[in-house]
Structure 1
Amino acid sequence: MILLERNYKWLPPILSFVISLILFVFTYWAASKEFMIREMLGYPITYLYFIYFNGTVYLSIKLSKFFYNIKYFQIHTNTRLFVELMSLFAMSFIFFYVTLITSSVMSGRGDAIIFTKNNTIIGVFQGLVLLLYSSLTITQDFLNKWRQSSIEISELQKQKLRAENRALQAHLNPHFLFNSLNVLISEIDYDPKSAKRFALDLSTIYRYVLNSKDKELVSFKEEWEVMQGYIHLHQVRLGEGLIFESEIHKDSLDKKIPPLSLQLLLENCFKHNQATLRKPLHLSIISDTNKVIVKNNVQLKSQKPESYNIGLKYLNDSFHHIDSNATVKIEQNENEFIVEIPLLTIDK
C-alpha cells in the first residue's frame, strides 16, 4: 500500500507535463507554417511554456489550500470555488503574457508587439485549458479530503456507539446488581439450591457483559442463552408478578445482533412497568428467521423512573451502523409496548 501511494505521487506531475507538451505542440502546429519538432525544441519559449503551465498547476494546488484555510470560505464553499477559479484564470492569463515578454527579451526581440489579438485569444484559450485541468486537480483534492472526513466521521460514530454501549453496561451495574444481591441474600436462607442457580445466572450475565463490550455483533443464540438467565433472575424476584412466554425459531439462533440488544429491551420493560401478583407483567419474546419481537403489557409505574434516552436510540443506531437497511420498529398503544429488532446475517 505504501509503495502504491509513493508511485501515485508522481502521477499528477507526469500527467501535467504530458498535457502541457500536447498543448504546446498543438499551439505551435497551429501558429507555425512549417511545423518541425526539432525547431520547437530549440526555442527558449518551449521551456518557458512548460514552466508556465506546470508552475500554474502547482500554484493552483497551493491556491486551493490557501483558500481552504480561510474560515469564511470553509463556510461559504460556493463562493470559495468561484473566487478560486477566477483567481486561477487571472493568474494563468497574466503568467502567459509574462512568458511571452520573457521569451521576447531572451531572443533579443524586446521591442516586439506582445499584446496582439492572436496572443490574447491564445492566452484566453490557455487559461481555459489550465482552468479545466486545475479544476480536475482541485476536485480530486476535494474528494480526497471528503473521503478522509468520511472515514474520520465513521470512526467517530464507532467510538460513539462503543461509548454508549459502555454507558448502558455501567447503567446495568448499580440498579440490577443491587436488586439481585438483595434477592440472593433472601434465597440463601429460603432455598439454598435456588440461590446457587441464582448466583450462577448472575455471574453468567456479568461475564457476558464483560466479554461482549468490544464486539459489534454476537449470535442471537449466545444472547438468548444469557437472557434466559436474566429473565430467571427477575422471575425469582417478582414471582407470580411476571408471566413470561417465548417462541424461538431454530433458524434464528445463528443470526446476529448487537450485544445486549435483548437485555436493553428487557430492562426497559422491567424499569417502566409494575409487576405484582394482582397486576402481573406479561412479557413475551418471539423470533422468526428475520426478526425478534419483544412485547409487554403497559402498566406504568406511578412514579416514573429516570429515563435514559440513549437506550432505544443507541439500539437503532447500532443496527443502522452495521446495516443501513436495518431499523428497530417500535409500536405502542394503551395496552401494549412492542419492539421489533432485525436479525442480521452479516459476519463480523
Structure 2
Amino acid sequence: MIVLEKNLKWVTPILSPLLSLLLLYFTYWSIIGDTEEINAFSYVSTYLYLIWFNGMVYFSGHLSNFYENFIPIRKNPSLRLTLELITLFVMALLFFYVVLITINLHSNKPSPHIIQKNNLILGVIQSLILLLYCSLIITDDYLRKWRDESIKAETLKQDKLRAENRALQAHLNPHFLFNSLNVLISEIEYDPVQAKKFAMDLSHTYRYVLQIKEATEVTFETEWEAMKHYLDLHQVRLGEGLNLDLNIENEKSQRIIPPLSLQLLLENVFKHNVATIRKPLTIKVEMREDFIKIENNIQLKNKKQESYNIGLTYLKESFKAMDKNAQVEITETSDYFSVTIPLLNKTA
C-alpha cells in the first residue's frame, strides 16, 4: 500500500502537463486546421495556457487543506463541500474565458476578450475536462484523508484496548486478594498441606497476570491452565458454597482468545453473586472446538445491582480487534446468566 501510494504521487505531476499539452494542441489544431503550421511553443499564449491549467490543478490539490483551516469538514461537511464545488466551478469558468481568449488571439480577432459563439463549444469542453480532472484530485485527497483518519481511529482504538487490558491485568479484585490471604492464614493453622497448595495457586494466578502484561492474545490452553488455579482458590475459599461443572473438550487447544477473557468472566460471577452453603453458586464451564461458554445461576448480592456488563464491553471490543466477525453472545434469564465467547484461529 505504501509503495503504491508513493507511485501514485508521481501521477499528477506527469499527467497534468501531458493533459494540458494535449488540450492545447487540440485547441490550436481546431483554430489553425493544419498540423504542419502549428508551432505551439513559439506562442506566448502557450505558456500562459500551460501555467493557468497546471496552476489550477495544483491549487485544487491544496484546496482541501486551505479550507480545512477555516471550515473543518467534521464540523460542517455540507458547507465545506459546497464551497469547494463553487470554487472549482469558478476556476473552470475562469479557465473557460482563458481558452476563449487564446482561441481569439490565434484567430486574429480584433477584440480577443470578446467571446465568439462559434468557440463556445471548444471552451466548454476544455473547462469541463479541467473541472472533472480537479474534482478527481480533490476526491482522491478526500479518500486518502478518510483512509488516514480510519487508520488513526483504529490505532487509537487498539491503544485504548491495550490500556484497558493493562488496567485489567493490573487488578485482580482487591477483595479477592484480601480474602485469599485470610484463607491462607486460616489454612496454615488448620491444614498446612492445603495451605501450601493454596499459596501455589495464588502464586500461579498472579504470575500469569504479570506474564501476559504485553500480550494481545493467548491460547486457550494457556488461559485455562491459569484459570484452574484461579478456580481452585475460590473452591477452597467458598467450600460447599461453590459448585463447579467443568466440561472441557480439549484442554490443549491452541485456539486463541484475548488474555484474561476467562478471568474477567469468572470474576464477574463471583463479584455479583452470593455463594454460601445455603445458597450455593453453580458455575458451568463448557468448551467445544469453536466456543467456550460460562454460565452461572443468578443470586445477586444486591438486588438493585442487576447489570453483569462490567468488563463485557471491553471483552467485545477485544474480540472485534482480533477478528471483526467475532461475536460474544450474552444470555440472561431470571434464573441464569451465560456468556459465550468464540475460540479464534491464529492469524498467519
8 A contact 1:45–1:100 mirrored in 2: no
8 A contact 2:27–2:103 mirrored in 1: no
In 1, the alpha carbon distance for the partners of 2:170 and 2:251 equals 32
More deviation in 221-230 or 28-37? Answer: 28-37
Deviation at 1:8, TM superposition (A): 4.3
8 A contact 2:101–2:113 mirrored in 1: no
Deviation at 1:327, TM superposition (A): 1.2
Give the match for residue 199 of structure 1: 199
RMSD, aligned CA: 2.8
Give the match for residue 256 of structure 1: 256
8 A contact 1:326–1:342 mirrored in 2: yes
Q: 1:130 to 1:96 in 2, by over 3 A?
A: same
Identity of aligned residues (%): 54
Q: 1:344 to 1:158 in 2, by over 3 A?
A: same
Q: How does 1:180-191 map onto structure 2 within 5 Å?
A: 180-191=180-191
Q: Secondary structure at the match of 1:324?
A: coil
Q: 1:301 to 1:36 in 2, by over 3 A?
A: same
8 A contact 1:273–1:298 mirrored in 2: yes
Amino acid at match of 1:29: W
8 A contact 2:293–2:341 mirrored in 1: yes
In 2, the alpha carbon distance for the partners of 1:98 and 1:52 equals 8
More deviation in 130-139 or 57-66? Answer: 57-66
1:149-194 deviation digits (Å, cap 9, x = unpaired): 0111001111111222223234415222111111111111111111
Amino acid at match of 1:260: L
Give the match for residue 224 of structure 1: 224
In 2, the alpha carbon distance for the partners of 1:267 and 1:3 equals 47
5+ residue gaps, structure 2: none
1:54-97 deviation digits (Å, cap 9, x = unpaired): 11101112222222222365433233223212212212322453
Q: 1:21 to 1:105 in 2, by over 3 A?
A: closer
Deviation at 1:42, TM superposition (A): 2.4
Q: 1:51 to 1:312 in 2, by over 3 A?
A: same
Amino acid at match of 1:189: E
Give the match for residue 335 of structure 2: 335
Give the match for residue 93 of structure 1: 93
Q: Secondary structure at the match of 1:84?
A: helix
Give the match for residue 164 of structure 1: 164
Amino acid at match of 1:150: S
Which has more helix, going by share of residues? 1
In 1, the alpha carbon distance for the partners of 2:340 and 2:145 equals 39
Amino acid at match of 1:36: E
Q: Secondary structure at the match of 1:181?
A: helix
Amino acid at match of 2:334: E
Deviation at 1:113, TM superposition (A): 5.1
Give the match for residue 78 of structure 1: 78
Q: Secondary structure at the match of 1:247?
A: strand
More deviation in 155-164 or 41-50? Answer: 41-50
The question of 1:271 aligning with 2:306 is answered no
Give the match for residue 68 of structure 2: 68
Deviation at 1:105, TM superposition (A): 8.4
Amino acid at match of 1:79: L
Give the match for residue 212 of structure 1: 212
Amino acid at match of 2:11: L
Amino acid at match of 2:157: Q
8 A contact 2:96–2:123 mirrored in 1: yes
Give the match for residue 324 of structure 1: 324
Q: 1:284 to 1:109 in 2, by over 3 A?
A: same
8 A contact 1:271–1:305 mirrored in 2: no
Amino acid at match of 2:146: W
Deviation at 1:195, TM superposition (A): 1.3
1:24-65 deviation digits (Å, cap 9, x = unpaired): 222322333212375233222222211111111011122222
Deviation at 1:23, TM superposition (A): 1.9
In 2, the alpha carbon distance for the partners of 1:85 and 1:252 equals 61
Give the match for residue 40 of structure 1: 40
8 A contact 2:300–2:306 mirrored in 1: no
In 2, the alpha carbon distance for the partners of 1:262 and 1:123 equals 70
In 1, the alpha carbon distance for the partners of 2:164 and 2:74 equals 31
8 A contact 1:284–1:296 mirrored in 2: yes
TM-score (norm 1): 0.90
User: What number of residue pairs does the alignment pair up?
Assistant: 348
Q: 1:96 to 1:48 in 2, by over 3 A?
A: farther
Deviation at 1:224, TM superposition (A): 0.4
In 2, the alpha carbon distance for the partners of 1:140 and 1:37 equals 39
Q: 1:306 to 1:156 in 2, by over 3 A?
A: farther
Q: 1:150 to 1:196 in 2, by over 3 A?
A: same
